[in-house]
Amino acid sequence: MMKELMMSLAVLGFAACTTVQIPADRLEKSQASIRGAEELGASGVPAAKLHLQLAKDQTDSAKKMAANGDNRALLVLARAESDSELAIGLTREVAVHADATRAAEDLKAVRDRGTQ
């Protein structure tokens, strides 16, 4: 009985020290998404900057969680990827809005010249 208890405790102790493997492609995909947001200029768009920072923090947290054997690491990594993709979308939205505003102003200028 005592021997079985000691074996059970040893197995539990070993299990507590295990790590969760984050597939390399998942980690790379998340990091690539963060790089993409940075390259698009997300740090210059307040809402995008927030989500970019969240993505970075969550990626770091996921790595630490995985090292500590926390199975939620993959979920946190997925959240990081979602936040970086949101940062990309918000950054693109600002760029598209600026382009549309310039186009409208250009069109107005052309129309104003045509009526003179």
Q: How far apart are CA 98 and CA 58, in angstroms?
A: 30
pLDDT of residue 115: 80
pLDDT tens track for 77-88: 999 999 999 999
Q: How far apart are CA 66 and CA 15, in angstroms?
A: 13
The proportion of the chain whose per-residue pLDDT surpasses 90, expressed as a percent, equals 73
Contact criterion met (CB below 8 Å) for 31 and 49:
no
Kindly report which listed range (15-24, 46-55, 95-104) carries the lowest average pLDDT score: 15-24
Fold of 27-114: Substrate Binding Domain Of Dnak; Chain:A; Domain 2 (1.20.1270)
Question: Mean pLDDT across the stretch 94-114?
Answer: 91
Domain segments of the chain as ranges = 27-114
pLDDT of residue 1: 57
pLDDT tens track for 32-68: 999 999 999 999 999 999 999 999 999 999 999 999 9
